[in-house]
């Protein structure tokens, strides 16, 4: 609560005189190679009054950009729509190629409650913004995670099955692929969009010092929940051609169920069994402090360490 710093992984934000409403939005766009396009999308997002940009990351191998911004719900809703509008204007899915699964120019747009807002608030926000994207931009919209209207659409990979090319063939003929909002056909250039509400997610990539993409895919299958691996972990294996490496790309859906340390050590073990080392790892976008502190405790074998020993947290207090 305001004014207190809890220990062992329950990091709280700096206190405020009054609780402000903060919602995070993390739209993913199908463009990671042309900086001018991503900059134009970010400029459109930031043209909405009341939002603050936290980060912008581009990945040329995935051909994908991740933008993170925060604000109160009305400001975030307007900013998300303006970003979608600019992406629809500038990105042509007919020529898009990249390693990451995708179905549209604005591929996915999640809303995350941070402070002064509930998950129900973000569900309502996702449905409102999703409907507006469909009605004003002519882009079919699917709702996922906590905003999903069907159990089989809670998971993003299920909605993305077949990717842009597969959805283009099925959306008008398979009733199961009918969108929640908008026409049962892809936008001519922007494809489709997924909008939802979810808790904080950690997008995390572990890169292996090999060109064997089969190894990355085998490890991804071993660790992801859907294949019998760790709870709340999604994973896929990719090639990083420009670096001569392969990647295990993950969404850590709930770090309290499965820690970063546990997954990292399992990847290290599985790679070592085939004579491969971890080259490096990277976090995409924002990350809570708690899992990084947990990793520090494990790596340094800290005993009796309390969050109250962290200087910045004491200063916030």
Secondary structure (DSSP) of 199-237: S--EEEEEEESSS-HHHHHHHHHHHSGGGT-STTEEEEE
pLDDT tier at 76, thresholds 50, 70, 90 = very high
- Quote the pLDDT of residue 20: 85
Q: What is the mean pLDDT of the chain?
A: 92
| Three-state DSSP class for residue 120 | helix
Enumerate the active-site residues.
Answer: 100
**Is the pLDDT reported for residue 4 higher than 70?**
no
Q: Are 180 and 143 in contact (CB under 8 A)?
A: yes
pLDDT higher for 103 or 302? 103
pLDDT tier at 19, thresholds 50, 70, 90 = low
**Is the pLDDT reported for residue 236 higher than 80?**
yes
pLDDT in tens, 47-72: 999 999 999 999 999 999 999 999 99
Q: H helices then E strands: how many in the chain?
A: 9, 11
Q: Which two tokens stand for residue 285?
A: 């976008």
Q: What domains can you pick out in the chain, each with its CATH number?
A: 22-197 (3.30.990.10), 202-316 (3.30.70.670)
Secondary structure (DSSP) of 50-72: T-EEEEEEEETTTTEEEEEEEE-
């Amino acid at each position: 609560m305001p004014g207190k710093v809890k220990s062992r992984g329950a990091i709280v934000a700096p206190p405020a005189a009054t609780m402000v409403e903060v919602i995070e939005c993390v739209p993913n766009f199908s463009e990671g190679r042309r900086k001018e396009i991503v900059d134009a999308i970010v400029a459109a997002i930031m043209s909405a009054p009341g939002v603050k940009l936290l980060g912008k990351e581009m990945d040329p191998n995935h051909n994908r950009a991740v933008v993170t911004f925060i604000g109160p719900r009305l400001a975030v809703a307007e900013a998300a729509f303006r970003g979608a509008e600019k992406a629809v204007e500038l990105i042509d899915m007919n020529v898009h190629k990249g390693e990451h699964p995708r179905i549209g120019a604005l591929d996915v747009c999640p809303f995350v409650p941070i402070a002064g807002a509930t998950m129900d608030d973000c569900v309502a926000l996702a449905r409102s913004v999703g409907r507006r994207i469909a009605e004003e931009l002519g882009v079919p919209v699917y709702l996922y995670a906590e905003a999903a209207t069907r159990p089989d659409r809670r998971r993003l990979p299920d909605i993305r099955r077949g990717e842009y090319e597969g959805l283009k063939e099925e959306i008008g003929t398979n009733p199961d692929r009918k969108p929640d909002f908008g026409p049962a056909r892809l936008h001519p250039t922007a494809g489709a969009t997924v909008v939802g509400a979810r808790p904080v997610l950690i997008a995390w990539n572990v890169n292996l010092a090999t060109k064997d993409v089969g190894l990355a895919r085998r490890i991804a299958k071993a660790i992801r929940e859907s294949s019998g691996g760790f709870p709340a972990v999604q994973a896929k294996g990719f090639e990083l051609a420009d670096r001569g490496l392969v990647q295990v790309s993950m969404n850590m859906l709930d770090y309290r169920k499965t820690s970063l340390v546990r997954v990292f050590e399992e990847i290290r073990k599985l790679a070592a069994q085939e004579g491969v080392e971890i080259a490096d790892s990277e976090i995409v976008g924002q990350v809570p402090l708690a899992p990084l502190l947990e990793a520090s405790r494990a790596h340094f074998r800290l005993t009796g360490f309390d969050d109250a020993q962290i200087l910045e947290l004491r200063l916030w207090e």
